[in-house]
Structure 1
Amino acid sequence: MKSWNKRQEDGEDAFNVFARDCPSRSTLEHVTGRWGSLVLGALREETLRFSQLRRRVDGVSEKMLAQTLHALERDGLVIRDARPTNPPYVEYSLTPFGAQTATRVLELIALLEDRMPDVLSARQTYDAAHADG
């Protein structure tokens, strides 16, 4: 039995993201990492080319965007549609699983944006209490 396999039900492995070696942990990192969540959110809105996606996700480097897209594609969240034209035409979109995941990520983003006044207040209180630190 693998170390990440907490239990088996109906012959299927049950994954436990809290277990160090569970493969679900790396997917969670891809989805919730700095760029993964933003890429998923951007692609939830529409299919985009690489350059469009890079402009939409302000601040991401070309290298990090390429790595993020590769990881999300490998995990089955993103579809890379490369057309053999000159110059090459490549679009990125979400799989059904990617769209489902992006919807939840966008819900989290909306919650955070809505609660930013509370976050900023908490930061100010914390910083004032730890100013001598």
Structure 2
Amino acid sequence: MNLQNAITLFSPRNFVCALFMSMLSACGGTSDEGHVVTVDGVSMDKTIDKTGPYDLEVTGARNDVTVAAGNTVLRLSVAGLNNRIFVLKTTTVERIELDGSGNTVYVPVGFKSRISRNGNNNDVVER
């Protein structure tokens, strides 16, 4: 590596860009206010396990969210890009609302819920 390549590689601009990208690798959080649980961020892996009926809102991008067995979700709202939601057996979801693009909700075979789809490439998959 010559001196010019080394200066370019370790420039302040490249350092700031690398720092920013590393912060995006898994940022965001979960909030639980009353009967609404919100998952908002990028590349997060969360399991939601809450007693009593609640609404679950998932936004952001590339999040993997698991709804624990035995939970009762009144409204599951998924927006953003490429989020994956895993609904386990014995979980009840009254209504699923899909917005954004590339979001997928995985449910047990035979699962029943009211479903509304907006955006594109959003799907509910039985498995």
TM-score range, shorter chain: under 0.3
- Name the one with the larger helix percent: 1
What TM-score does the superposition give when structure 1 sets the normalisation length?
0.22
Provide TM-score, normalisation by structure 2.
Answer: 0.23
Q: Which has the higher strand share?
A: 2
